[in-house]
């Protein structure tokens, strides 16, 4: 194929009127679809693997599980998946296909080996589960003649083109359960606990879970953090009789370029207020665990839809939720929208988009920013 993806407002057929761009493939019928999980794992990946496998098998297509992400594609770590191979995995976290980060896949040599594996094993198309890095890999595969589709699986919920990524709900629920436990012991001992949660550069887990856990203060990369104001909030809450207190901080915050700021904040809070303050970093513990109902459902729908899109001749798409509805968007669109959201657009990024599309992209970014800013303000307003 090797063609550069073009962005047009043309709709990609009846399956989804909201799909932007994507690639049309003229193929007789897929015989074999490969599925892989790549980057950081996320609860719900297994549910998506099950959906992809069973939907494809229902359509008479063979399914190959590729182990350890793109590394498995390069090295030929393959295993056929039948209906029984994906039994009993809808309930489990992690990924039965294992995951990896594979720098070699970004090289021409790595890509050549991956294509060879596909050719030698008659893999006609690939469904790639992961985050934005994984989607970059899927675009490269499509451009090298292996139609690929991405399914957003990351606890961070940091893909701007979709309102939801698989794993987010489970991670947040794990956070509120653990923060709840910490809060109980804080209450007993009249202590404070500052808890750092994952999310890379995105504060979504900290913001949502922090609100749901009743945090006195939340810190996220997307909103300015006023340290003095936050400390004052804790002081006032204690003055008004609050015993146990919680602060939920995103790992991605960087205040005065200080590494491990949340830990430093805990010490500062204790020093300035006299309130005994502990610190906890939840780290990877929130990335495991049995997926919630919401994650199982989204994974099931998105996994099955990915197969439908491929069968309908579409590729280079990522499954998405937009305005609460299941849809799919072009991967390149999704990557550029992410750069717009992060104010990291490169020269020429928007050249292939119409004025109307650019306006819609700006609106999507603004809506997301505004939603976070409103919730952030609300969290402090209600902390007493």
Of 57 and 255, which has the nearer Cβ to ligand F6P? Answer: 255
User: Residues binding ligand F6P: what is the number (CB under 6 A)?
Assistant: 10
Within the chain, what is the greatest distance between any pair of CA atoms? Answer: 72
Q: Which of residues 29-58 bind ligand F6P (CB under 6 A)?
A: 40
Of 198 and 275, which has the nearer Cβ to ligand F6P? Answer: 198
Q: Of the listed pieces 8-16, 36-44, 215-223, 315-323, which binds ligand ADP according to CB under 6 A?
A: 36-44
Q: Does 102 bind ligand ADP (CB under 6 A)?
A: yes
Least gap, CB of 100 to ligand ADP (angstroms): 7
Q: Of the listed pieces 25-33, 193-201, 208-216, 220-228, which binds ligand F6P according to CB under 6 A?
A: 193-201
Of 19 and 154, which has the nearer Cβ to ligand ADP? Answer: 154
Other residues' Cβ atoms within 10 Å of the Cβ of residue 120: 10
Lay out the sheet containing 245-250: strands in order across.
Answer: 217-219, 245-250, 192-197, 277-281
Q: Of the listed pieces 124-132, 246-254, 287-295, 369-377, which binds ligand ADP according to CB under 6 A?
A: 124-132
Of 142 and 277, which has the nearer Cβ to ligand ADP? Answer: 142
Of 138 and 275, which has the nearer Cβ to ligand ADP? Answer: 138
Q: Please check whether residue 33 is in contact with residue 20, taking contact to mean a CB–CB distance below 8 angstroms.
A: no
With CB under 6 A as the contact rule, the residue among 86, 192, 198, 250 that binds ligand F6P is 198
Least gap, CB of 209 to ligand ADP (angstroms): 20
Catalytic annotation on 156? yes
Structure tokens at 142: 């499509």
Q: Which of residues 285-304 bind ligand F6P (CB under 6 A)?
A: 287
Q: Does 292 bind ligand ADP (CB under 6 A)?
A: no
Least gap, CB of 337 to ligand F6P (angstroms): 18
Q: Which of residues 246-265 bind ligand F6P (CB under 6 A)?
A: 251
With CB under 6 A as the contact rule, the residue among 34, 39, 93, 167 that binds ligand ADP is 39
Q: Does 105 bind ligand ADP (CB under 6 A)?
A: yes
Residue nearest to ligand ADP according to CB distances in the complex = 133
For the chain, the straight-line distance linking the first and the last C-alpha, in angstroms and rounded, comes to 60
Q: Which of 41, 124, 140, 156 is catalytic?
A: 156
Beta bridge partners of residue 278, listed in sequence order: 193
Q: Which of residues 56-95 bind ligand ADP (CB under 6 A)?
A: 70
Interacting residues with ligand ADP (CB under 6 A): 38-40, 70, 101-102, 105-106, 130-134, 136-137, 140, 154
| Active site residue ranges | 156
């Amino acid at each position: 194929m090797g063609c550069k993806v073009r962005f047009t407002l043309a709709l990609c057929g009846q399956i989804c009127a909201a799909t932007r761009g994507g690639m049309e493939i003229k193929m007789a019928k897929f015989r074999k679809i490969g599925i892989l999980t790549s980057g950081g794992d996320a609860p719900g990946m297994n549910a998506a693997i099950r959906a992809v496998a069973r939907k494809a098998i229902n359509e008479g297509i063979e399914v190959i599980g590729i182990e350890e992400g793109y590394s498995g594609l390069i090295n030929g770590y393959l295993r056929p998946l039948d209906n029984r191979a994906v039994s009993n995995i809808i309930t489990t976290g992690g990924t039965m296909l294992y995951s990896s980060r594979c720098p070699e896949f970004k090289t021409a040599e790595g890509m050549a080996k991956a294509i060879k594996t596909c050719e030698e094993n008659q893999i006609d198309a690939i469904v790639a589960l992961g985050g934005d890095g994984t989607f970059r890999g899927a675009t490269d595969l499509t451009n090298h003649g292996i139609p690929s589709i991405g399914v957003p699986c990351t606890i961070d919920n940091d893909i701007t083109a979709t309102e939801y990524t698989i794993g987010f709900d489970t991670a947040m629920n794990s956070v509120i359960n653990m923060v709840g436990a910490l809060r109980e012991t804080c209450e007993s001992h009249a202590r404070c606990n500052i808890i750092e949660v994952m999310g890379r550069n995105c504060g979504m887990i900290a913001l949502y879970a922090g609100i749901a856990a009743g945090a006195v203060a939340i810190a996220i990369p997307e909103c300015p953090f006023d340290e003095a104001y936050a400390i004052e909030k804790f002081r006032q809450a204690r003055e008004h009789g609050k015993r146990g207190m919680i602060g939920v901080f995103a790992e991605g915050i960087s205040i005065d370029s200080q590494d491990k700021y949340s830990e430093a904040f805990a010490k500062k809070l204790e020093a300035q207020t006299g309130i005994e303050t502990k610190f906890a970093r939840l780290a990877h513990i929130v990335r495991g665990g049995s997926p919630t109902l919401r994650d199982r459902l989204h994974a099931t729908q998105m996994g099955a839809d990915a197969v439908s899109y491929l069968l309908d001749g579409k590729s280079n798409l990522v499954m998405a939720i937009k305005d609460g509805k299941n849809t799919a968007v072009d991967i390149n669109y999704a990557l550029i929208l992410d750069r717009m959201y992060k104010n990291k657009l490169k020269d020429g990024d928007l050249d292939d988009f119409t004025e109307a599309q650019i306006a819609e992209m700006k609106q999507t970014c603004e809506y997301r920013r505004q939603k976070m800013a409103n919730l952030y303000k609300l969290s402090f307003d209600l902390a007493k």
